[in-house]
Structures are given as structure tokens and as C-alpha cells.
With several copies, the nearest count.
Chain A
């Protein structure tokens, strides 16, 4: 199982702040996870479209497209940060 978290604009437009998902065997990294989530269609394909700026963290560290994603990881999706 993978723990998925959503924050800020993504949390609102996707209508959820977290979910637990069974990883598809094709998903090996962040890019693969995004591809897989986009197949859900609707606001998923919209918000996670390649042109949109979405930041991803894996186990509390900022991640890149090639960062590996494994069973048991906590992955979060969110917009660029705006604190301070």
C-alpha cells in the first residue's frame, strides 16, 4: 500500500486529503505514479496534466520525476509553497 496525501489547491480540487492505494506494478517512480493517477481522468488528469506545476514529496523529502516510489512510502502532492 502507498499512502497518498494532497495539500492546498490540490486537496480541494481533487476532493480528498489522503488515500491508501495499491501500487500498480507499472509504477516504479514519481513519473510513473503521476501517469497512473492521470488515468483516473476528470480533475485528476486536469490537475496533474504535464503543464501544471505539481510538487511531489516521498517520505517527507522533496522528490523528482525519477525518485523511486515503493510499497509503504508516503507520497504527497501539492502546489509550489507560499509560506513565510
Chain B
């Protein structure tokens, strides 16, 4: 399965290596790591707890990866998302996409992140000096996801190969 939800940290380098190793069809590998920052909306953050919906979260992520594979020439893809307590500089999410060409790899990787942000059931609760607070969904994330809906198949295909 190209999707994992776990409390444990991950080794991004090892995952990237495992995805690309021995496949001479891969010309491009795009990856993304999301990390816990020590500030959000101008306020210091000391940590966060990530909650998810076991069963639905994995299914949603698999659907997002399938959608990416139907839109671009993707050879392989991987999503790892952590849950539980995370501290600043901790890794939250890893997305890796391999393809023959860089345009497909970049587009599919960014698409997966944008859709994950708006469609995969995860919720962040931040710890600040004032206590804990649930993070509000961002309108900019909705706009990022909508970019891909407005994109016609023709313009989606007009990416570098």
C-alpha cells in the first residue's frame, strides 16, 4: 500500500531510496516533507497533537493517490502521515512521487499535498503558552485544492515532460 498513517517518525531518505531503487524507467522523483514549525499565525507553538479517523483517513489518502495517478504519468507514489504528539522540527508528512518526467512528478506531488490538506481527515490541536487550540482550516488551502479542479485536462497535460 502506498499510504501509511503512523505515530512513529519516518526516514525520508530511506523511503525515497526504496521507491526509486532499481527502476530504470524513473527519470524524475519529486518529494515533499511537511514539518512542525515553532510558530503559527504569529504565535509561538510548543507542540501539536494530530488526530485522525482510522479507516477513513487511509481510504481518503488512497483515493487522492489514485486520482493523481489518473491525472499524470506516475510510476510510483508514497504518502506517510504521522499522528499523535509532535514537536517543532518534527516531520508530519512525506509525499514521494516517481515518474519518467519531471513535470508529472512535480504536479502529482503538489496535487497530493493540496488534496491531502483539504480532504484527508486529520485535525491539528496546537499547544501554545495560552493552552491548547484546534487549528482552523485555512481558506488558502481550499484555493490551492481548487486550482486543480479548474485545470482542464488539456492545461494539466501542458506541463514539462
Contact = CB atoms under 8 A, between A and B. Distances in A.
Interface of A: 5, 7-9, 53, 57, 60-62, 76, 78-84
A67 B134 CA distance: 27
Given A81-B121, A81-B123, A84-B113, A8 B56 contact: no
Given A81-B121, A84-B92, A8 B81 contact: no
A79 B123 CA distance: 8
A84 B93 contact: yes
Nearest to A60: B56
B4 interface: no
In the A-B complex, the 3 residue pairs with the smallest Cβ-Cβ separation, listed nearest first, are A83-B122, A80-B137, A8-B123
Nearest to A62: B119
10 contacts: A7-B123, A57-B56, A81-B121, A81-B122, A81-B137, A82-B135, A83-B120, A83-B121, A83-B123, A83-B124
Nearest to A59: B56
Contacts, number: 71
Interface in B91-115: 92-93, 102, 113
Interface stretch (B45-53, B66-74, B151-159): B45-53
Interface in B105-150: 113, 116-125, 134-138
A5 B135 CA distance: 20
B32 to A, nearest CB: 9
A7 B81 CA distance: 18
A78 B52 CA distance: 10
A76 B121 CA distance: 11
A30 to B, nearest CB: 15
Contacts of A76: 53, 56, 121
Given A61-B59, A76-B121, A81-B118, 13 more contacts: A7-B51, A53-B137, A60-B59, A78-B123, A79-B137, A80-B118, A80-B136, A82-B134, A82-B136, A83-B116, A83-B123, A84-B113, A84-B116
Interface centre among A5, A53, A78, A80 (most CB of B within 10 A): A80
B117 A78 contact: no
B56 to A, nearest CB: 4
Contacts of A53: 137
A74 B134 CA distance: 24
B33 to A, nearest CB: 11
